[in-house]
Amino acid sequence: MSKRDKYFEALRKQKLDTVRWSIGAGGQSPGLRDDDGYTAIMICASGNLHKALRMLCDHVRRAREKEQMDLTDGDGDGRTALMMAAHNGHHEACQELLDAGCNYRLKCRKGMTAADYARKKSHVELAARIDRGGESEEEDTDEDEEIDGEELGVFDETDLEDDLDVNDDDDDDETDDDGDEWELDEFDEPGQVRVVNAAIGTFLSTLVWAIRRLTSCFVNRGP
């Protein structure tokens, strides 16, 4: 049996030691085709031989020969290894190829992408994952979520302004130090209203700044 035949046999049986030797000292390539025109990567992808496929993908990634993952078949459809794995619903094989950086946007001669092949066979979840380039829905969210301010005792600025609301309708009537009632209508003049609003805004900004500085000191203070 030739080295080439041993190589393909090792792939189909996932004899990883033989596969490792073949693509190393044996001089075989992940892009080598069998008698039917399928590359070694295609054989592993279509059969969901993901352990052997991972080894091949690692090899082409280290050798900077990622284009070998995107070679097309020899039967005229122009399908890639990812399209074959997607058509068969092989999640593991698809993920190995996507993680290795294959081009999941390529189209075959029929104008179909790998995700289209998955959808055609009702592999909806797999198709969605391929469309995202292999990322899961959880990975789409921010992994470094901010710590809830309430857990650290940090006040939210909007809550602070609500607590210090100076435009509360219930406070329209006030009483001065002499016990005489006065109304906010006294400040209906535009100039006076602007002065009062500016003073209130300055006060709130200063108060918010002070609270943030105090909070920052407490949060960043070492044990």
Tell me which of 97, 115, 139 is where a domain ends.
139
Beta bridge partners of 183: 173
Give yes or no: residues 133 and 184 share one domain. Answer: no
Tell me which of 139, 159, 190 is where a domain ends.
139
b/e per residue 133-147 (b: at least 16 CB within 10 A): ebeeeeeeeeeeeee
At 11 the pLDDT is 95
Give yes or no: residues 205 and 98 share one domain. Answer: no
Give yes or no: residues 113 and 155 share one domain. Answer: no
Look up the pTM and report it. 0.61
Cα-to-chain-centroid distance, residue 155? 30
Give yes or no: residues 29 and 104 share one domain. Answer: yes
Reference 47, options 90, 18, 95, 103; nearest CA is 90
Domain that holds residue 56: 3-139
How many structural domains are present in the chain? 2
Three-state SS for 29? coil
> Phi, psi at residue 32, to the nearest 5°?
-65, 135
Give yes or no: residues 118 and 11 share one domain. Answer: yes
Low-confidence ranges of the chain (pLDDT < 50): 140-155, 160, 164, 166-175, 181-187
Q: Is residue 190 part of a domain?
A: yes
At 128 the pLDDT is 95
Q: Is residue 47 part of a domain?
A: yes
Give yes or no: residues 100 and 175 share one domain. Answer: no
d(CA 113, CA 33): 22
Give yes or no: residues 135 and 163 share one domain. Answer: no
Residue 105 per-residue DSSP state:
T
Alpha-carbon torsion, ordered 56, 42, 27, 100, to 10 deg: -30
Tell me which of 85, 107, 139 is where a domain ends.
139
Three-state SS for 14? coil
CB contact at 8 A, 80 and 69: yes
The amino acid at 125: E
At 217 the pLDDT is 61
Q: Is residue 61 part of a domain?
A: yes
Instruction: Locate 118 and state its tokens.
Output: 């998955």
At 50 the pLDDT is 92
Q: Is residue 144 part of a domain?
A: no
Helices in the chain by DSSP H: which ranges? 3-13, 16-23, 40-46, 50-62, 81-87, 91-100, 114-120, 124-131, 137-140, 157-163, 190-220
At 150 the pLDDT is 42
